[in-house]
Amino acid sequence: MHVAQVGSGASSNRRSLFSVEHVSARALGAIPPPMLVLLGVISLQVGAAFAKQLFTTAGASGVVALRLTFAAVILLAVWRPSLRMDRKTLAVVAGYGAVLAGMNVCIYQAFSRIPLGAAVTIEFLGPLAVAVIGSRRKLDIVWAVLAGTGVVLLARVEGGLDWVGVAFALMAGALWAGYILVGAKLGSRTSGGSGLALGMAFGALVAAPFGIAEAGTALLHPAVLIAGLVVALMSSVVPYSLELEALRRMPPRVFGVLMSLEPAVAALAGLLVLGEMLGGWQWVAIGCVVVASVGSVGATKGGDGKSDEAGPKDTGAN
């Protein structure tokens, strides 16, 4: 009788889980792919703005440690990856985690010194540089110059920005470029989300010492832990899920164009959530980088986008 009850309960749990997944899939399927991307971008940037509010309590590096730790726990529970891998795969997973941790620590340190929109705009030079360097089209030189002009305007006009914050944002951009390259190798050596889950776990281990050194026991406060979980969901789990679903139903090229709106969305999130005001020329500067990114991605060869490489920004820099 006991065995029958357990079996029945397990079967019921499986049916419930399947029902939840089925309802979730249907709900996402009813949303147009461009809207999924925009919702993911909004979740990511509002999550970043919310994270910035925790800096006074847990420090920038402390929030990174919490975000990566909670995101790793969730992804490990979902994907349950095998730990059996060869040395080359292990090296790629470790490299991915290290770059991920460094990228997030740098951009959060930038957030603590300069406005959210400015930091994300400067950071965007990383993936833009990868796109331009990997292209042989002369037109991409125009997009590179336009993006560079935008960053110069952003950093120097209307009072300028803290140069330490700018330096951290530039380092985050460089690491984001590395993240794209290492991420491509990770995708070729692992399947599904197993590589992402393991890389996230390694990244959490890398970020933990920085977070502990900056925040100490404040990281264990219940309110801080709950806030860290919210940041992980808004900045990692939700955007990744929405973007992954969107990519199943739209060309990667179109996906890339929509993702180019991130600097503008970040600036709006900073304004609405944090009250961060930007001057007129700084909005023009953000516009320059957005247009450069759209131009670089939108003019790629293969209009159907099937040959383009793209993927969810996932747990990207902010």
DSSP state of 80: -
- What whole-number distance in Å separates Cα of residue 99 and Cα of residue 79? 21
Render pLDDT for 39-55 as a digit per residue (tens, 0 to 9). 999 999 999 999 999 99
Render pLDDT for 195-207 as a digit per residue (tens, 0 to 9). 889 999 999 999 9
Write out the DSSP string of 116-156. Answer: HHHHHHHHTHHHHHHHHHT---THHHHHHHHHHHHHHHHHH
Residue type, 142: V
Render pLDDT for 91-102 as a digit per residue (tens, 0 to 9). 999 999 999 999
Tell me what pLDDT residue 114 has: 94
Q: Within 13 A of 310's CA, how many CA atoms are on the CB side?
A: 27
Mean per-residue pLDDT of the chain: 84
Render pLDDT for 74-86 as a digit per residue (tens, 0 to 9). 999 988 998 888 9
Tell me what pLDDT residue 295 has: 86
- Confidence check: pLDDT of 21 > 80: no
All structural domains of the chain with their residue ranges: 33-298
Low-confidence winner among 47-61, 155-169, 296-310 (lowest mean pLDDT)? 296-310
- Confidence check: pLDDT of 16 > 50: no
Render pLDDT for 176-197 as a digit per residue (tens, 0 to 9). 999 888 988 888 888 778 888 9
Query: Is the Cα dihedral 59, 60, 63, 69 positive or negative?
Result: negative
